[in-house]
Amino acid sequence: MHIRKATIDDAPDAFEIRNLAILSQCKGHYSDDILTKWTDGELPTEFAHAFAKYGFVSEIENKVVGVGMLDVDNGMVDAIFVRPESFGKGLGKRMLKHLEAQARRVNCKELRLDATLNAAAFYRSCGFEGHNQSVWHSPRGIDLACIPMVKVL
């Protein structure tokens, strides 16, 4: 596996992986109505530009299998998703370690994220702390239950 900085051309793959992962892993944690609203529609221009600016991709044999984003200015981690057929192979953890290394390079002291309910245990296993449920207000107008988490670097 190889991790590299994303380009705008990676945004369609990232959006597809995001949607597949949400539909696969979030079922049972969020209603079907929320999952549909969360993943419905075309690739938003805002997502494509944000992904090009903050994103990274994991590739195996030149195929994008995972994605993640990091805004080093505020230490915010976002959009760590893996293709469903690649779940359980450590790709998410490797992406997170890569993002942590990027943050350390610019002397970022902590990372923050809003974990989906299904992903909180994964982030805890990677050293993030947080247990209190909150609400994330999606750009799509959806209110999603989440767990705000922090990791001191």
**CATH number, residue 79:** 3.40.630.30
pLDDT of residue 141: 83
The answer to whether the beta carbons of residues 113 and 77 sit under 8 Å apart is yes
Which residues span the domain enclosing 54? 2-152
Structure tokens at 8: 């705008």
Neighbours of 69 (CB within 10 A): 21
Angle formed at CA 82 by CA 43 and CA 103, multiple of 5 degrees:
90
Question: What total number of domains does the chain contain?
Answer: 1
Q: For residue 137, what pLDDT is reported?
A: 87
Q: What are phi and psi of 136, to 5 degrees?
A: -100, 130
The pTM for the full model equals 0.94
**pLDDT given for residue 138 in this prediction:** 83
- pLDDT < 50: residue spans in the chain: none
| CA neighbor of 44 nearest in space, from 20, 78, 19, 22 | 19
CB 130 within 8 A of CB 120: yes
